[in-house]
Amino acid sequence: MISHREKHRILKHLAEAAYALVVSECSDQEKRNVYQYIKRAMYRVKGLDEEGDVCNCEEFITDATINTGEAIEAISDGHSILEPKYAYQVCKALGVEFSRHLLEHFYSDWSDYKGVHMDPGMEGEVGVSSLALSKYVAEKLGVADKARKYFGRGSQARAYAEQVRLALHE
């Protein structure tokens, strides 16, 4: 458990990083790196372990279920943002536990034609990147290193999904 003093130290660093991010003229990649640092630090403050807050949270449990084929199709895309409940179902169908580390707030990036473009009223919604989910599942099943490395989101997601499919059918 993190001491009260340590939490304050971490929060001070988070505030400094957030301020630097807002006022800086750094690249989008540098901003994403700072955001990931802030996200990891917040998990430390909350007392979560390095593996993440793996959960079987009631807020994600629904009566709906999907089969393995549907789950593999969901992680094969690489471009979609999945609702948390659906991402939870995908994990369940593929035999891995869902992690809250997969949750992100999504905002439009109109500076990049291939970036995220949210519908009006959807800005800031919480979801799960299908590429992040495919990588997470492949890592949990121990097959992520077998997937070929690609620059494209869709190609990389399909590579992870194929390794997941092979691992589940062995």
Say if residue 121's pLDDT is above 60.
yes
> Which pLDDT belongs to residue 23?
67
Given a contact cutoff of 8 angstroms between Cβ atoms, the answer to whether 76 and 27 are in contact is no
Buried b (16+ CB within 10 A) or exposed e, 36-51: eebeeeebeeeebeee
68/43 same-domain check: no
When comparing pLDDT for 168 and 8, which is higher? Answer: 168
| Domain of 24, in residue numbers | 1-47
Given a contact cutoff of 8 angstroms between Cβ atoms, the answer to whether 140 and 163 are in contact is no
DSSP per residue, 54-114? EE--GGG--S----HHHHHHHHT-SS-EE-HHHHHHHHHHHT--EEGGGEEEE---TTSTT
Mean pLDDT, rounded, of the chain: 78
pTM: 0.64
> Which pLDDT belongs to residue 14?
72
127/73 same-domain check: yes
26: confidence class by pLDDT, cuts 50, 70, 90: confident
83/161 same-domain check: yes
136/106 same-domain check: yes
Say if residue 159's pLDDT is above 90.
yes
Range scoring the smallest mean pLDDT among 26-30, 59-63, 152-156: 59-63
Query: What is the spatial distance between Cα 111 and Cα 34, in angstroms, rounded to a whole number?
Result: 19
Query: What is the spatial distance between Cα 30 and Cα 25, in angstroms, rounded to a whole number?
Result: 10
Given a contact cutoff of 8 angstroms between Cβ atoms, the answer to whether 66 and 89 are in contact is yes
34/102 same-domain check: no
143/161 same-domain check: yes
102/151 same-domain check: yes
129/104 same-domain check: yes
31/101 same-domain check: no
> Which pLDDT belongs to residue 29?
73
Say if residue 165's pLDDT is above 70.
yes
How many structural domains is the chain composed of?
2
- The model's pLDDT over 82-120, given as tens digits with 9 standing for 90+, comes to 988 899 999 999 999 998 888 887 777 767 666 677 677
67: confidence class by pLDDT, cuts 50, 70, 90: very high
> Which pLDDT belongs to residue 138?
96
27/57 same-domain check: no
Query: What is the spatial distance between Cα 54 and Cα 46, in angstroms, rounded to a whole number?
Result: 14
Identity at 72, one-letter amino acid code: I
> Which pLDDT belongs to residue 27?
75
14/83 same-domain check: no
25/97 same-domain check: no
